[in-house]
């Protein structure tokens, strides 16, 4: 993991550019603005004062879905994503959330299993990409 990684809560607008670069490189900023962004909770990971990772949390009762989880390509595999998820898990405990979940790309199942999440249900496809629901009971 990177030394001196700072994770802090940020506004929705702070996440958009990194979301676009990582998740929708051929898209526009409008493609990454989603319903509920302004009511959601967002975290950003900074290294040397540069935003290198983001994750957005959407609450529904006592569960929390994370979406638009993005880490800059040159920082992937260095622990940024795992640090962001650990912050999300701590946040969930602080707010007495009982379940965290996401729709994970099929290619990322093993990553989410390594951080303690479990596959639930059957895979599905959206816009030509395969996903499955991954959950973690808190």
CB atoms within 10 A of CB 120: 10
Instruction: Give the predicted TM-score (pTM) of the model.
Output: 0.92
Residue percentage of the chain with pLDDT more than 90 = 89
Cα–Cα distance, 26 to 12 (Å, whole number) = 21
Q: Which of 132, 64, 48 is nearest to 98 (CA)?
A: 64
| Domains of the chain from N-terminus onward | 5-97 (3.40.630.30)
Under 8 Å between Cβ of 54 and 20:
no
| Tens digit of each residue's pLDDT (9 = 90 or more) over 56-115 | 999 988 999 999 999 999 999 999 999 999 999 999 999 999 999 999 999 999 999 999
């Amino acid at each position: 993991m990177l030394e001196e990684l700072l994770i802090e809560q940020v506004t929705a607008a702070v996440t958009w550019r990194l979301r676009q670069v990582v998740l929708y490189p051929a898209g526009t900023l409008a493609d990454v603005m989603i319903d509920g962004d302004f009511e959601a909770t967002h975290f950003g990971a900074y290294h040397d004062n540069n935003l290198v990772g983001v994750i957005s949390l959407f609450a529904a009762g006592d569960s929390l879905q994370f979406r638009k989880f993005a880490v800059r390509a040159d920082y992937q595999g260095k622990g940024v994503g795992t640090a962001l998820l650990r912050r999300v898990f701590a946040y969930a405990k602080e707010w007495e959330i009982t379940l965290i979940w996401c729709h994970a790309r099929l290619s990322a199942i093993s990553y989410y299993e390594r951080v303690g999440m479990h596959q639930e249900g059957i895979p599905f496809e959206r816009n030509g990409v395969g996903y499955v629901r991954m959950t973690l009971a808190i």
